[in-house]
Amino acid sequence: MKKSSITIVITFITLISLAQNKSDSSKNWLSFHFQQTTVYQMQPGVSGNYSSDFSLSPKEEDAISLTTTLFLGAKLWKGAEVYFNPELAGGSGLSAARGVAGFTNGETFRIGNPAPQPYIARAFITQKFALNNNKVWQADGANKIGAYQPEKYISITAGKFSLADYFDNNKY
């Protein structure tokens, strides 16, 4: 996909997201979010008596890596939501991100090919069954649609997702 096509898609998604009527939460049925991480690194060259495939290069070098995620979500029917997270990842780290250079860029371990490659990070459907009539507000966010949700519920989720999405206590 050309850069201009990607720009058009991102612009379109942003405009739709901004056009949602935020004052009436009952009409929030779509959620669009975007995240991008770009890491640029440079090192002036390392001089020394020791060099191997797992050492920083003795020559000056630079590297860049990129990870981009779209978080798309929609309500289907009462209690049901579907989410789709396509990602694009590419690039490389210093000195092929091996040895001491490996930990300096936390993005490159996920990148299998230096050429940007699209893939599906998550694609899942979830159905919530309310256990009472009390509702609490859930703010719009990545893989969350801004709406009133049941305070207590049983949820069934199927598809491609990470268990860390549900069991990670990190608020970020």
128 domain residue, yes or no: yes
81 domain residue, yes or no: yes
User: Which of helix, strand or coil describes residue 60?
Assistant: coil
172 domain residue, yes or no: no
30 domain residue, yes or no: yes
Q: Alpha carbon 82 to chain centroid distance?
A: 16
Q: Could you say which residues of the chain have pLDDT below 70?
A: 1-27, 96-113, 172
113 domain residue, yes or no: yes
Q: Which two tokens stand for residue 10?
A: 């991102």
The pLDDT score that the predictor gives to residue 84 is 92
Structural domain of 162 = 3-167
Q: Which two tokens stand for residue 75?
A: 């309500």
82 domain residue, yes or no: yes
Q: How many domains does the chain have?
A: 1
86 domain residue, yes or no: yes
